[in-house]
Amino acid sequence: MKVGIIGATGYGGLELIRLLHSHQEVQTIQLFTSSEEGVSLSTKYPHLTKLYDAPLEKITKQAIEQLSIVFLGTPSGVSGQLIPNIYNENTIFIDLSGDLRLKNSADYEKWYGKKTAPEDLLAKSVYGLCSWNNDAIRSAKLIANPGCYPTAVLLSLLPLLKTNLISHEGLIIDAKSGVSGSGNKPSQLTHYAETTDATTVYKINKHQHIPEIEQAIKSCTGTVEPITFTTHLVPMVRGIITTSYAKLSPGVTAADLHKAFTDTYSDDPFIRFMPDVATLSTKQVKGTNFCDITFNVDDRTNRVTIVAVIDNLVKGAAGQAIQNMNLIMGFNEKAGLQAVPLFI
């Protein structure tokens, strides 16, 4: 099987290469670029020496048609305009950017501040939230791969929202991310001397993942209330930890929540529910497609605190994209995604 990556020089692209490299069903990986045609990826990234020395290829409809799968790791605003030019019936498209996630194009333009993708493309795209949308994913031709924050938030809240164990009203989500989420382009916010040894809050109530989370809650549970969502930058490369706060529905106990999680995830290949742990760390999923979840009920307040950790580049991007590919192609869902976490 031949797969392609458009936007191979970004961190999403690099992570796709890293994971696909050891995927047994993938024979060839072709790397495409819009701006650095002819450059060898290993010149730009010496860690790929002897592994990916071939020059990056130009994006053409002809080249893309030869592929079974193409992944797009481009910045927001690109794939929505590019896909119409290269779309074809032979190829499955998996878009890692936010361009195709929001069904309401006005939401995209409001939260992203950019021109939306064409409506017919939005209509065709399937939201690739694995474990929750697998039936639609299996027959999709065009996947909108979920955002990093939404993945952690949704996987940890949907089991409780769907069963009405917690209130839709008053959801508070406090999210912390590693710096790789900002991509490979240097800026003051990612300048080592100013980023290290510090935690920064940013985009309070303004993050473009807010409408994505709300849309998915609505889609999976039938109802939604506006959420409160804050994002922080933490001095680590990989990892997201989301701490969510919800009101318990009347009469609900910790045992009910426990059952909802195990009912939903006990057979899941990548979601590990971890009740009664003293700590939960982004380290324990590093480099893998795992999402680890725990919760604690506070009898003093009748609220529950739910915590999830993922690797933003894997489960929050390239890993879930490959899981989507596996579902679509009928491969083992874990193919290429069986690494042990890089705890140290």
* Binding residues for a second copy restricted to 37-56, rule: CB under 8 A: 45-51
Q: 80 is written with which tokens?
A: 């929505």
Would you give the DSSP letter of residue 221? H
For a second copy, the closer CB: 106 or 204? 204
Q: 115-174: which residues touch a second copy (CB under 8 A)?
A: 170, 172, 174
DSSP-assigned beta bridge partners for residue 28: 2
Q: How far is CA 62 from CA 58, 65, 86, 87, 304, in A?
A: 10, 5, 8, 10, 53
Residue 35 binding a second copy, by CB under 8 A: no
Q: 24 is written with which tokens?
A: 């047994």
CA 46 to chain centre: 26
Looking at 3, 14, 83, 129, which residue binds a second copy (CB under 8 A)?
14
For a second copy, the closer CB: 31 or 126? 31
The whole-angstrom separation of Cα 118 and Cα 123 is 9
Closest separation in Å from C-beta 339 to a second copy = 7
For a second copy, the closer CB: 236 or 329? 236
Identify which of 222, 241, 221 has the alpha carbon closest to the alpha carbon of residue 231.
Answer: 241
Looking at 74, 125, 180, 323, which residue binds a second copy (CB under 8 A)?
180
Closest separation in Å from C-beta 266 to a second copy = 11
The whole-angstrom separation of Cα 273 and Cα 185 is 35
Closest separation in Å from C-beta 195 to a second copy = 4
Known catalytic residues are 148
Residue 277 binding a second copy, by CB under 8 A: yes
Closest separation in Å from C-beta 223 to a second copy = 16
Q: How far is CA 298 from CA 248, 302, 328, in A?
A: 10, 6, 41
Residue 69 binding a second copy, by CB under 8 A: no
> In sequence order, which residues have a C-beta less than 8 Å from that of residue 158 and are 6 or more positions away?
132, 216, 217, 220, 221, 264
Closest separation in Å from C-beta 258 to a second copy = 15
Amino acid at 322: I
Closest separation in Å from C-beta 323 to a second copy = 16
Can you say whether the dihedral through the CA atoms of 139, 321, 75, 202 is positive or negative?
A: positive
Closest separation in Å from C-beta 121 to a second copy = 28
User: Which stretch, 93-101, 139-147, 148-156, 276-284, contacts a second copy (CB under 8 A)?
Assistant: 276-284
Q: 224-253: which residues touch a second copy (CB under 8 A)?
A: 226-228, 230, 232, 234-239, 241, 243, 245
Residue 255 binding a second copy, by CB under 8 A: no
For a second copy, the closer CB: 136 or 335? 335
Looking at 123, 222, 298, 334, which residue binds a second copy (CB under 8 A)?
298
User: Which stretch, 108-116, 140-148, 320-328, 334-342, contacts a second copy (CB under 8 A)?
Assistant: 334-342
At how many degrees (to 10) do helices 209-221 and 148-162 cross?
Answer: 30
Looking at 65, 283, 329, 335, which residue binds a second copy (CB under 8 A)?
283
Residue 301 binding a second copy, by CB under 8 A: yes
Residue 272 binding a second copy, by CB under 8 A: yes
For a second copy, the closer CB: 9 or 125? 9
200 with 188: CB under 8 angstroms? Answer: no
Amino acid at 90: N
310 with 148: CB under 8 angstroms? Answer: yes
Q: What end-to-end distance do the CA atoms of the chain give, in Å? A: 34
